[in-house]
Structure 1
Amino acid sequence: MEHNSAIVIAMFGTTVESALKGILNIQDKMTARYPNTPVRFAFTSNIIRKRWQKRAADPEYRQLHPEIPTEVFEVKTVLATIADLQDQGYDSIVLQPTHIVMGEEFLDLGTYVDSLLRMGTIKKKKYKPFYKIALGRPALGMYGTAHPYAEDILAAAKALASDAELARSAQAALVYMGHGNEHFPSAGSYLELAQQMRTLYPDVVTLIGNVEGFPPLSNVINELKRLGVHRVLLKPFMMVAGDHSVNDMAGPEEDSWKSVLEKNGCTVVVAESGLGEIDAFAELFVRNAGEAAADAGISLNA
């Protein structure tokens, strides 16, 4: 029996037009690697999808933003995107998240995959809606015996060489603002990534703090003071430079990271670009999708 494969890139999404560059860059890299395999993306955020649906129904908005692809206006949930592909005859799906770590949203995708694979028919196994579905790893890896997470973290650190160079040129420490999570222990991955970057780029002080969970911004500030650093390059450690970047990181409010750092004696240089805009970082997800397909025995048409 012939099996047809496709790739779905799962993203939280963004409503910030300029931040779409990170999302589209990942899709472009995936399509370039697998030109004969359908590559779709889906947004996991209900709020963001509804915002794009509203914009799609606004002729004036669409006229003002001809640069936004139709696929963004028509973006669907992960399950709806997979269902569309199944309806078109694709029974082997690689679901590649663009998450940084194994947090809540990544684990939710795992439940989707498990549930879809359990779907069957009473009569014959070959009539199951899906032959195989594989879930790719997040950027900083996951637990398991197939792919050591430390290797994923090292690959991510190498992919961020351009950020280290940016900080070096600015004669500043590199301070990342990650999202983090208050309910899932992801801090170790962030801290190990920062350590790997300090090892690879010893002339650049690299620190990571999170909006939620550990380590908080206060830890970053304490470390900057301990090291006597007074100039920082502030950059989002997120796939897109969306709302968190515009407001929480670099906004004019007193509690933005930029404002708090300045109150603590730092000169702050802001780099408002997401990780997805870095070609080498976007390629990590292309690699992870390919390895997930290989592990599951799914053939992707290059």
Structure 2
Amino acid sequence: MAKKAIIAVSFGTTFPETRKKTIGATEEAISKAFSNYDVYRAFTSKIVRRRIKENEGIEIDDVDTALTKLADKGYQEVYVQSLHIIPGIEYNLVQDAINRHKDNFTAIKVTSPLLNTFDDFQRLVLFLKKQSEYLPTGKAVLWMGHGTAHKAFTTYACLDHMLFGAKSYVGAVESYPDINDEVKRLQHAGIKKVYMQPLMMVAGNHAHNDMASDEPKSWKSILKDNGIQAHPVLKGLGEYPEIQKMFITKLESIIKGDE
């Protein structure tokens, strides 16, 4: 019988608590859904891997290393589960690594990230709407995306537009739409209080510092300066069973050959 494995690949995080609640929880869900596969972990961020090794003494593989180890162990069928949110720079790194190792396996495939097709967007928009559906007038949820210089930066603006009329808003730390764009939208809608949450797999550095801190340039401080009370919710997307299921559905599709 051919040896089969799944590599769950994410950007990673240096925050151990959210790593366990998000990435770890999603990996556990994948293991339960695919009990006849061995599940491994890889992070695409070189900085995150280095800091974890320095601070925790834990060595986490990049995708190339993980694939090399699986080939050496005799695995023949490998599925790479991307836990990235958008098809941006980090996801391209995963695809490049797979291309370098494709001749080492009889089968190797990668899932698309969380947001790739129109159906993906519709499912996530429905999820986001449900998180704010019962909030009273004057309150909303503001989701913080990472942002990117890659053309996939349009993902965040698309989500923000698709949520028009709901009590949910999407901005990005490193691209468009930024916090100033969202402040204008919130003020126009008469929002006086927002619950800020990361639109990221984990509640890591950006969530703690750029979103929730008291630093002058944090989203919390900028909102406060504009008359909007901001309450941080440090809960990454990976904590939600609904999001875990979205990833698992993608994996089911590529294993069945539907993608």
Report SS of the residue matched to 1:229.
coil
Let me know the Cα RMSD of the aligned residues. 2.0
User: How many angstroms apart in 1 are the aligned matches of 2:136 and 2:35?
Assistant: 37
Select the residue among 88, 93, 108 that pairs with 1:133: 108
In the other structure, the counterpart of 2:91 is 106
User: How many angstroms apart in 2 are the aligned matches of 1:32 and 1:162?
Assistant: 26
User: Given the alignment of the two structures, is residue 150 of structure 1 paired with residue 125 of structure 2, yes or no?
Assistant: no
User: How many angstroms apart in 1 are the aligned matches of 2:251 and 2:188?
Assistant: 41
User: Given the alignment of the two structures, is residue 177 of structure 1 paired with residue 136 of structure 2, yes or no?
Assistant: no
User: How many angstroms apart in 1 are the aligned matches of 2:168 and 2:111?
Assistant: 27
| Structure 2: gaps spanning 5 or more residues | none
Shift of 1:188: 3.2
Matches within 5 A, 1:238-257: 238-257=200-219
Identity of aligned residues (%): 28
Report SS of the residue matched to 1:49.
helix
1:53 partner letter: K
Question: Highest CA radius of gyration, 1 or 2?
Answer: 1
Shift of 1:91: 1.6
2:183 partner letter: I
Q: Is contact 1:160-1:281 (8 Å) kept?
A: no
In the other structure, the counterpart of 2:70 is 85
Indicate the structure whose relative CO is greater, using CA pairs within 8 Å and at least 6 residues apart: 1
Q: Is contact 1:11-1:98 (8 Å) kept?
A: yes
User: How many angstroms apart in 1 are the aligned matches of 2:137 and 2:22?
Assistant: 23
TM-score where L is the length of structure 2: 0.92
User: How many angstroms apart in 2 are the aligned matches of 1:115 and 1:260?
Assistant: 45
User: How many angstroms apart in 1 are the aligned matches of 2:242 and 2:163?
Assistant: 15
In the other structure, the counterpart of 2:81 is 96
User: How many angstroms apart in 1 are the aligned matches of 2:226 and 2:99?
Assistant: 48
In the other structure, the counterpart of 2:157 is 191
Distance 1:169 1:96, change over 3 A: farther
Shift of 1:44: 1.3
In the other structure, the counterpart of 1:33 is 33
User: How many angstroms apart in 1 are the aligned matches of 2:101 and 2:240?
Assistant: 33
Q: Is contact 2:86-2:115 (8 Å) kept?
A: yes
TM-score where L is the length of structure 1: 0.79
Shift of 1:130: 1.0
User: Given the alignment of the two structures, is residue 23 of structure 1 paired with residue 26 of structure 2, yes or no?
Assistant: no
| Structure 1: gaps spanning 5 or more residues | 58-72, 120-128, 142-148, 298-302
